[in-house]
A and B are shown apart, each in its own frame.
Chain A
Amino acid sequence: MFEKTGIATRAMVVEKFPPMERINRGPVAVVECYQKIPCNPCQTACPFGAIRIGEDINEIPCRDENICTGCGVCVAKCPGLSIMIVDGSKSDTTVQFRIPYEFLPLPEAGEEVVGLDRAGQPICSARVIKVMAPPSFDRTPVVTLEVGREYLYDFRNFRRKA
């Protein structure tokens, strides 16, 4: 199905997430790269050596959740925009996401936006916590959003309210 629609199945998504206990401990990268393609900037970008691809640049990246600090350097580096940071340490009822967002105008901190799933369908309300676009992100801004915990495996994008 994924190869027909570009929409990963829930089982594929869940497999890329670290255990809940790790998510609750603090920020960690989720690398949603499902296909062997010749690409390795995530490995090169990670300052801690937490993402490994190896000699063959076609291998699928493997992120070690115990080394990953959730610093987020990889998020704006992935040419496929396939990486996000999840952080369940802030609250028992919500989870924070840091996702790349290459559209203008950028949202503002505090703004309520519409949370979208992997098919672009609205699923929830989300609150923008922070918008980062330093020169090192090279025009791929990264937006931090807060979303209800029940959307952990479904939330993947957002759109601003009209």
Chain B
Amino acid sequence: MREVELLVIGSGPAGLCAAISAATSGAKVLVLERSFKPGGQLIKQTHMFFGSESQYASHRGVDIADILLEKVDEFGDRIELMLNATAVGFYEDNVVTVLKDEKEYFKIKARSVVCATGAYEKSLAFPNNDLPGIYGAGAVQTLMNVYGVRPGNRVLMVGAGNIGVIVSYQLMQAGIEVVAVLDAAPRIGAYLVHASKLARMGVPILTSHTVKEAIGADCLEAAVVCEVDERFRPIPGTEKRYDVDVMCISVGLSPLNELLAMRGAVMKYVPQLSGSVPLRTNSLETSIPGVFVAGDASGIEEASSAMAEGYLAGLCAAASLGHVPPDLNDRKLEYMSQLDGLRSGPVGERIRAGMRNSKL
């Protein structure tokens, strides 16, 4: 069985930053990535990021992936990146089982682990929601921006959070019509600058609206939407029909961390972090010594926070292995203050509550 010093599961913004940070301290790192391409969700994010300079604000996500991968390359002797490798089990003795290229199955024993497994898209229940043409918004973004595939011609976007409005904008950049963006909430969840970009393209954003049903024989042909009251109950007589061949569901993400649950980390459902998350210390160590968490797996936030968390978790994981840089405390405080800054405003209020609820 292969033994590694630090295993990072996931090569998105959190995982890559964790690997870079740990390697900077001198740790030897193996990064597992289930996709054929490293970078997680960054590789499809063609828009500029918010945040500050330390999180590459104003760079496009795709370019941030390249910047981070270049840094990973600089640590060629200390960071190994294994692609097409899915971690499928995480056991008490820190053994992780891996399925590589969908055929080889083997074990890796790690002295320390950073779980940066990201998130999955939530779904929405309505009649015929399984018709072809109804996608997760993230899937459509992957189709367009990674594979260059047009998902359809006329799109209804369900969900006015950041992903919903950003993907709508990118659909329009690809020359695809977006008929409307709707959201059951009474207010737009996305950063309003993103919403304004869509609004001035003439795309209506319909708050307090939901999908009543999808219509189509073999694939999506139309969607019926309706208004909802303040308790999210459909208001009869408000139905509207949109003839569309694509519906994107963008109703939020949930942390993907079954591996940590399997390992026995103490988990808790924290609504402000959008799902079940591991309890953790300020250093992002879970209830299991030497097992860390970073990025969306610890609670749904922006990529900027995922990067800062990755740097922090990688630094602390390496330190737990004896790789203690002279400026350990200064660097820890720097990442923590970056995170505080990103979470300090009104839009960070939920996250701050979530953080209080998930402290170990």
Contact = CB atoms under 8 A, between A and B. Distances in A.
Interface string B163-206: 00100000011000000000000111001111111111111110
A39 B57 contact: yes
A112 interface: no
A80 B199 contact: no
A9 to B, nearest CB: 12
Contacts of A82: 193, 196
Interface in B191-238: 191-205, 207-208
A46 to B, nearest CB: 12
Contact of A56 (B60, B173, B302, B345): B345
Interface stretch (A16-24, A64-72, A114-122): A114-122
Range of interface residues on chain A? 35 or more
B74 to A, nearest CB: 23
Given A34-B192, A102-B173, A120-B202, A139 B60 contact: yes
Contact of A79 (B47, B202, B205, B342): B47
B197 A80 contact: yes
A38 B346 CA distance: 9
A39 B50 contact: yes
A57 B342 contact: yes
Contact of A118 (B52, B57, B194, B199): B199
A44 interface: yes
A38 B342 contact: yes
A144 interface: no
A149 interface: no
A8 B193 CA distance: 10
Contacts of B304: 38
Contacts, number: 138
A8 B302 CA distance: 25
B345 A6 contact: no
Nearest to A83: B193
Contacts of A4: 186-188, 205, 207-208
Contacts of B203: 120
B92 interface: no
A87 B191 CA distance: 28
B289 interface: no
A33 B197 CA distance: 12
A32 interface: yes
Contacts of B48: 41, 77-79, 138, 140
A82 B197 CA distance: 8
Interface in A28-75: 32-41, 44-45, 56-58
Given A102-B173, A119-B199, A80 B191 contact: yes
Given A102-B173, A157-B201, A8 B53 contact: no
A88 B57 CA distance: 31
Range of interface residues on chain B? 35 or more
B281 interface: no
B196 A56 contact: no
Interface string B329-360: 00000000000011111111000000000000
Given A58-B346, A82-B196, A40 B187 contact: no
B58 interface: yes
A54 to B, nearest CB: 11
A56 to B, nearest CB: 6
A35 B193 contact: yes
A6 B52 contact: no
A60 B246 CA distance: 37
A57 B347 CA distance: 12
Interface in B18-60: 47-53, 57-60
Contacts of A157: 200-201
Given A34-B192, A38-B345, A5 B205 contact: yes
Given A4-B207, A38-B304, A116-B200, A79 B345 contact: no
Most chain A CB within 10 A, of B49, B51, B172, B187, is at B51
B352 to A, nearest CB: 12
Given A39-B57, A44-B57, 8 more contacts: A6-B192, A35-B193, A39-B50, A44-B53, A80-B193, A81-B197, A119-B202, A120-B200
The 8 residue pairs across chains A and B that have the minimum distance between CB atoms: A120-B202, A80-B193, A58-B345, A6-B195, A41-B58, A79-B48, A6-B199, A39-B50
Interface of B: 47-53, 57-60, 63, 165, 172-173, 186-188, 191-205, 207-208, 302, 304, 341-348
19 contacts: A2-B192, A4-B186, A5-B207, A6-B199, A7-B199, A33-B193, A35-B193, A36-B347, A37-B191, A38-B50, A39-B57, A57-B51, A58-B344, A58-B346, A79-B48, A81-B197, A82-B196, A103-B173, A120-B202
Interface of A: 2-8, 32-41, 44-45, 56-58, 77-82, 102-104, 116-121, 138-140, 156-157
